[in-house]
Structure 1
C-alpha cells in the first residue's frame, strides 16, 4: 500500500512540474517583444554609432553594427501583424498566411539591378510551397501597380505611402527605421528570423546574364539560410528557463 501511495505522489509531482513548466513557456512566449518596440528601444543608439563610422568611410564597421543590431535585438522579436495592401487582391494580414514570409521593400525611384526582378521571380517559384513572397513598395498604388506587372504571380506586390492615413504605422516602423531595400525573413509565427539590408552591388555595364546570376545567388543563399534557421528561433523563445 505504501509503495502505491509513493507511486501516486511521484506521478502527481511529475505532472504538476510538467504543467508548471508548460505554463512558464506560454508566459515566456507571451512576453516576446514586438518588432516595433525593439526598433524603438535600440535604433537611436545604432544610428548614432553608424553615423560616426560611415562618416569615416568604414563600410565594414557599419555593416557589422547593423548585423549586431539585428542579431542581438531584432531576431526573435514578433513582427507587427500588418495588413498589407496588395495591388491586385485587397489586403493581406500577415498572421493569416500561416507560413514563413519573405518581405523585401523597394520604391519606384530606387533603381533595381538588372536581373534582380527576374532572380526574385525564379526564386519565388522555387520556394512557392515553403515561403510567401511579398514585395512592398513605398509608393502610391498607381506607381506600385506599374512595377507589379514585372513580378511573377507567385509574388504578392503590396504598397504603403505616407499620404495614406492608415499607412502611418508601417511606414514609421519599416521605411523610416532600416530604410530600403531591406529584406525581412519571418517564420510562420511572425518571429523575426533575419533581416538583410541592400542587395548585391553589380558593376555598371555588367552583362544581363551575369547580373541575373549574381542576384539569384545572393537571394538564394539568404533564403537557404532562412529555411535552415526558421524553426530555431521559435524553439529558443519557447524554451523558458527552468528556475526550480
Structure 2
C-alpha cells in the first residue's frame, strides 16, 4: 500500500513539474511575432511580387504552424456592441476567433456555415468575431450573424492602445482565424475558404462548413475521426 502511494505521489509531482516547466517556457503571440514576422514578411513580399501565390501560402503555413502555433494569445481588449470593453481571456471555453471588417467580401456560404456551427457547439466553444470597424458599422454587420456568436470590435480612430491593432490586424492580415484552447494557447491559425466564382450556394455552404468544422473537430473538440460531409448542408431558419 505504501509503495502504491509513493508511486502516485511521484506521478503527481512529475505532472506538476511538467506543467510548471511548460508555463515557464510559455511565449506570448506578440513575442513570437516579434521573433519571426520580419523574416516572413520579407520572403512573402518577394513571393507576391513575383506572383508566386503557392509559395506565399506555404510561407504563411510554415510561419503559423511552426513559429506561432503553441504560443499564447495576449489578453487583448475589445469592445462589445454595448461599447463595453472586454478581455479575450474573459472567454473561458476554447475560442474560435475570426478577425474581420465589414468591408470584407465573404464567400456566400461562409456566414451561414459559421452560424450553423456556432448554434451547434456554443455550449463547448466561444465563437468570437473581431471587426476592425466603428461601432455603427459593426452593429450593421452583426445582423447577419447568430446570437450565439460574440461580436466585438476595435475602432482604430478611438483606440488608445495600438498593441492589439499591430498584432492582430497588421501582422497576418484579415480575415484570419485563430483556434485557441481554454488557456488561450494557439492551436491553429488559418485563412477562410476561397473558391472560384460560379459555385452554387449549396456548394459554397458545404465547402465553408467542412473547412470550419475541420478546425473545430480536430483542434477544439479533439475529434480525430472527423470526416467532411459530402452532401450540402441545410440552412437554419
Relative to structure 1, the CA distance from residue 154 to residue 24 in structure 2 (aligned partners, 3 Å threshold; closer, same or farther) is: closer
The alpha carbon displacement at 1:94 in A equals: 2.3
The alpha carbon displacement at 1:228 in A equals: 5.0
Relative to structure 1, the CA distance from residue 29 to residue 55 in structure 2 (aligned partners, 3 Å threshold; closer, same or farther) is: same
Are 1:92 and 2:80 an aligned pair?
no
2:208, 2:63 → 1: CA distance?
25
Are 1:102 and 2:96 an aligned pair?
yes
More helix per residue: 1 or 2?
A: 1
Aligned to 1:131: 125
Aligned to 1:242: none
Q: How does 1:43-122 map to 2 (within 5 A)?
A: 43-88=37-82, 90-122=84-116
The alpha carbon displacement at 1:91 in A equals: 3.2
Paired residues in the alignment total: 223
2:134, 2:42 → 1: CA distance?
31
SS at match of 1:163: coil
The alpha carbon displacement at 1:105 in A equals: 1.2
Are 1:216 and 2:216 an aligned pair?
no
Aligned to 1:187: 181
Is the 1:193–1:229 Cα contact (8 Å) retained in structure 2? no
What RMSD, in angstroms, separates the aligned Cα atoms of the two structures? 2.7
The alpha carbon displacement at 1:20 in A equals: 7.4
Aligned to 2:228: none
1:141, 1:211 → 2: CA distance?
29
Q: How does 1:216-235 map to 2 (within 5 A)?
A: 216-227=209-220
2:127, 2:79 → 1: CA distance?
14
SS at match of 2:194: coil
Relative to structure 1, the CA distance from residue 103 to residue 18 in structure 2 (aligned partners, 3 Å threshold; closer, same or farther) is: closer
SS at match of 2:160: helix
SS at match of 1:177: coil
The alpha carbon displacement at 1:31 in A equals: 3.0
Are 1:154 and 2:154 an aligned pair?
no
Deviations 1:171-211 (A, max 9, x none): 111100000010000000010000002x2223224332222
Q: Aligned match of 1:202 in 192, 195, 198?
A: 195
So what's the TM-score if we normalise by structure 2? 0.83
2:120, 2:11 → 1: CA distance?
45
2:216, 2:9 → 1: CA distance?
41
Larger Cα-atom Rg: 1
